[in-house]
């Protein structure tokens, strides 16, 4: 395994551990119920998915427009 790969996996692991600690501290210290945290997580996934779908449709529209304009230039 290369040095860059080890560094990548170490950074990813540390990031996931830090995220877990943040969630644990929110649940433990601030008495946020686990079901409320799950609702927030699902809502975040919905928003992220919506942004990804919007960006994908915009890129598809721009690619289609570009191909349409290139066809008109050839005629």
Give me the domain span that covers residue 2: 1-32
Query: What is the count of structural domains for the chain?
Result: 2
pTM, full prediction: 0.60
Regarding whether 43 and 74 lie in a shared domain, the answer is yes
Query: Does residue 63 share a domain with residue 51?
Result: yes
Contact 26, 32 (CB under 8 A): yes
Map tokens 């990031």 to a residue.
15
The C-alpha atoms of residue 73 and residue 3 are separated, in whole angstroms, by 50
**CA atoms lying within 13 Å on the CB side of residue 62:** 6
Asked if 27 and 37 sit in the same domain, the reply is no
Output the pLDDT for position 27.
83
What pLDDT is attached to residue 75? 59
Distances (CA, A) of 16 to 2, 13, 19, 54, 59: 21, 5, 5, 27, 31
pLDDT of residue 13: 95
């Amino acid at each position: 395994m290369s040095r860059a790969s080890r560094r990548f996996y170490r950074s990813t692991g540390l990031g996931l551990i830090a995220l877990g600690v943040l969630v644990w501290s929110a649940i433990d210290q601030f008495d946020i119920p686990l079901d409320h945290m799950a609702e927030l997580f699902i809502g975040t996934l919905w928003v992220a998915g919506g942004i990804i779908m919007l960006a994908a449709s915009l890129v598809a529209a721009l690619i289609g427009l570009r191909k349409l304009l290139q066809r008109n230039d050839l005629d």
